Structure 1
Amino acid sequence: MNILVTGAAGFIGYHVCKSLLDKGHRVVGLDNINDYYPRSLKFSRLEQLGIEEDKAKNFNTIVESGTYPDFSFIRLGLEDSASMDKLFNEHKFEIVCNLAAQAGVRYSLENPSAYIESNIVGFFNILDNCKRHEIKHLVYASSSSVYGLNKKVPFETTDNVDHPISLYAASKKSNELMAHTYSHLYGFKTTGLRFFTVYGPWGRPDMAMFLFTNAMLKGDPIKIFNNGDLERDFTYIDDIVNGVVRIIEKPVADDEPKYKIFNIGNNDSVKLTDFIETIEKELNIEAKKEYLPMQPGDVKKTWANVDDLVSEYNYEPNTSISVGIKRFVEWFKAYYKI
Structure 2
Amino acid sequence: MKILVTGAAGFIGAHCVLRLLRDGHSVVGLDNFNHYYDPQLKHDRVQWVREQVGDFQLATVDLAHATAIDALFAREQPQVVIHLAAQAGVRYSLDNPRAYLDSNLNGFLNILESCRHHPVEHLIYASSSSVYGANQHTPYSVKDGVNHPLSLYAATKKANELMAHSYSYLFGIPCTGLRFFTVYGPWGRPDMSPIQFARAISEGEPLKLFNYGEHQRDFTYIDDIIESIARLIDQPPQANPQWDREQPDPASSMAPWRLFNIGGQQPVALKTYLALMEKHLAQKAIVELLPLQPGDVLNTCAEASDLAQATGFQPRIELDEGLGRFIAWFRDYYPTARAPLAAE
Instruction: Report the AA paired with residue 295 of structure 1.
Output: Q
Partner of 1:27: 27
Q: Deviations over 1:177-232 (max 9, x none)?
A: 00000000111200000000000000111111111111000100110001111100
Partner of 2:252: none
Partner of 1:55: none
- Partner of 2:175, secondary structure, is strand
Partner of 1:326: 324
Instruction: Report the AA paired with residue 54 of structure 2.
Output: Y
Q: Does 2:321 match 1:335?
A: no
- Partner of 1:73, secondary structure, is strand
Q: 1:233 aligns with which of 218, 243, 247?
A: 218
Partner of 1:54: none
- Partner of 1:203, secondary structure, is coil
Aligned equivalents of 2:235, 2:26: Cα separation in 1? 16
Instruction: Report the AA paired with residue 66 of structure 2.
Output: S
User: Does structure 1 retain, via aligned residues, the 8 Å contact 2:104–2:160?
Assistant: yes
Partner of 1:278: 276
Aligned equivalents of 2:63, 2:115: Cα separation in 1? 13
- Partner of 1:49, secondary structure, is helix
- Partner of 2:291, secondary structure, is coil
Paired residues, number: 323
Q: 1:80 aligns with which of 53, 65, 75?
A: 65
**Unmatched tracts of structure 2, length 5 or more:** 242-254, 339-344
Partner of 1:165: 150
Q: Matches of residues 50-199 of structure 1 in structure 2 within 5 Å?
A: 50=50, 68=54, 71-199=56-184
User: Does structure 2 retain, via aligned residues, the 8 Å contact 1:136–1:252?
Assistant: no
User: Does structure 1 retain, via aligned residues, the 8 Å contact 2:176–2:237?
Assistant: no
Aligned equivalents of 1:252, 1:149: Cα separation in 2? 29
Aligned equivalents of 2:240, 2:77: Cα separation in 1? 24
Q: Does 2:262 match 1:264?
A: yes
Q: 1:242 aligns with which of 227, 247, 261?
A: 227
Partner of 1:62: none
Aligned equivalents of 1:186, 1:98: Cα separation in 2? 18
Q: Deviations over 1:249-285 (max 9, x none)?
A: 3366688851001101101211111111111111111
Q: Deviations over 1:293-331 (max 9, x none)?
A: 111100010000000000011122110111000000000
Aligned equivalents of 2:184, 2:281: Cα separation in 1? 17
User: Does structure 2 retain, via aligned residues, the 8 Å contact 1:201–1:327?
Assistant: yes
- Partner of 1:88, secondary structure, is helix
Structure 1 stretches of 4+ moved >4 Å: 251-257
**Quick one: structure 1 residues 224 and 190, their matched pair in 2 at CA, closer, same or farther if it must change by over 3 Å?**
same
Q: 1:287 aligns with which of 285, 288, 294?
A: 285
- Partner of 1:79, secondary structure, is coil
**Quick one: structure 1 residues 189 and 251, their matched pair in 2 at CA, closer, same or farther if it must change by over 3 Å?**
closer
Aligned equivalents of 2:85, 2:135: Cα separation in 1? 26
Instruction: Report the AA paired with residue 91 of structure 1.
Output: E
Aligned equivalents of 1:314, 1:281: Cα separation in 2? 33
Instruction: Report the AA paired with residue 312 of structure 2.
Output: N
Once the two structures are TM-superposed, the CA of residue 97 in structure 1 deviates from its matched residue by 0.3
Instruction: Report the AA paired with residue 162 of structure 1.
Output: N
Aligned equivalents of 1:213, 1:67: Cα separation in 2? 29
Instruction: Report the AA paired with residue 232 of structure 2.
Output: I
Partner of 2:309: 311
Instruction: Report the AA paired with residue 174 of structure 2.
Output: K
Once the two structures are TM-superposed, the CA of residue 67 in structure 1 deviates from its matched residue by 5.1
Instruction: Report the AA paired with residue 143 of structure 2.
Output: T
Identity %, equivalent residues: 50
Aligned equivalents of 2:88, 2:314: Cα separation in 1? 26
- Partner of 2:233, secondary structure, is helix
